[in-house]
Amino acid sequence: MDLLHFLHRNVKTIAMPLGMAIGAVLCRPVTALEAFSHQMITPALIFLMLFFTFCRVDVRQMRASMLHFWLLVFQLAGCAAVYLLLFRYDPVVAQGALICVLAPVAMAAVVIAGMLGANVTTMATYSLLCNLTIALAAPVVLSLVGADHCTFLGILSRVGPLLVLPFVCAQLCRAVFPQLARWVAEHSQISFYMWLVSLVVVIGRTTAFILDLRNADPWTEMTLALVALVICLVQFKLGRLLGRHYGDAPAGGQSLGQKNTVLAVWMAQSFLDPISSVAPTAYIVWQNFVNSYQIYKKDREAAKNQI
């Protein structure tokens, strides 16, 4: 029994690095499977895990706050700042840095934040606000620094259905089938394992993309990966500082640090220099190492409290 308890407590810690390793090693089969499904595996998993998470959210308690305001200010001002700072050094690196800041909060951030003890309602509110704000701002920003065919509907069509439909379905379930919603809410940890499978798929796809890159300067790729690491650490740290000021450090950290990298890679490949997508691709790895460390630290604290 002690062994089972130990394995259950530590599986979340090793799961994310293991999932990334499996996705990288099996990148070709994973990419082929995703193509066979017409790119529906990841969206289906995201929908289900968000449904499980949003069943815990009471829409009557959702309120915009000053924490949400400052997080949005940082994203919009920060993406412009890093671009202007790096543009003279290398426009491609500047584009990669911009997209790592501009990208909206990951839809899975609600799941991880809940594991870290964040207020799920705060996270759900910011997830809605952030994705809709970036859907409006991204076409303007990307048309200034990249191509001019980025449209509001193009971005919104990527995030809208995956973000809005699970929320609507969860609230309908709470209203019409309260017992089912209660069961789902009590078992919301299942969403972590759904997210883990989607992580394997995303890492597999992005690994295949990097392997298939042609005419890319290795130094530029390494610089993009390093810049993504610095931005990742800064965003998690600053987010936690802001969150702590408003009484919820985990919510602040995940809201600012954990990005919708699938959308970020798509935006970079579609509207910027495709090589710049190496930055959000590397960001996938960095943010999941940070999440692994945070979950490990949280579980260690919980284990100490039980002693």
Mean pLDDT along residues 137-156: 75
pLDDT score of 84: 94
Top pLDDT among 260 and 236 is at 236
**Residue 282 CB partners (closer than 8 Å, separation 6+):** 224, 225, 228, 229
pLDDT score of 166: 83
Tell me which DSSP letter residue 300 carries.
H
Q: Which helix (H) or strand (E) holds 159?
A: helix 152-176
CATH class belonging to 22-299 = mainly alpha
pLDDT band for 6, please (50, 70, 90 cuts).
low
* pLDDT score of 163 more than 70: no
Mean pLDDT along residues 136-158: 75
* pLDDT score of 155 more than 90: no
Rounded to whole angstroms, how far apart are CA atoms 286 and 224? 12
Q: Would you say the C-alpha torsion 73, 76, 80, 85 has a positive or negative sign? A: positive
Mean pLDDT along residues 191-209: 81
Rounded to whole angstroms, how far apart are CA atoms 236 and 195? 20
pLDDT score of 100: 95
* Domain assignments of the chain as residue spans, ordered by start: 22-299
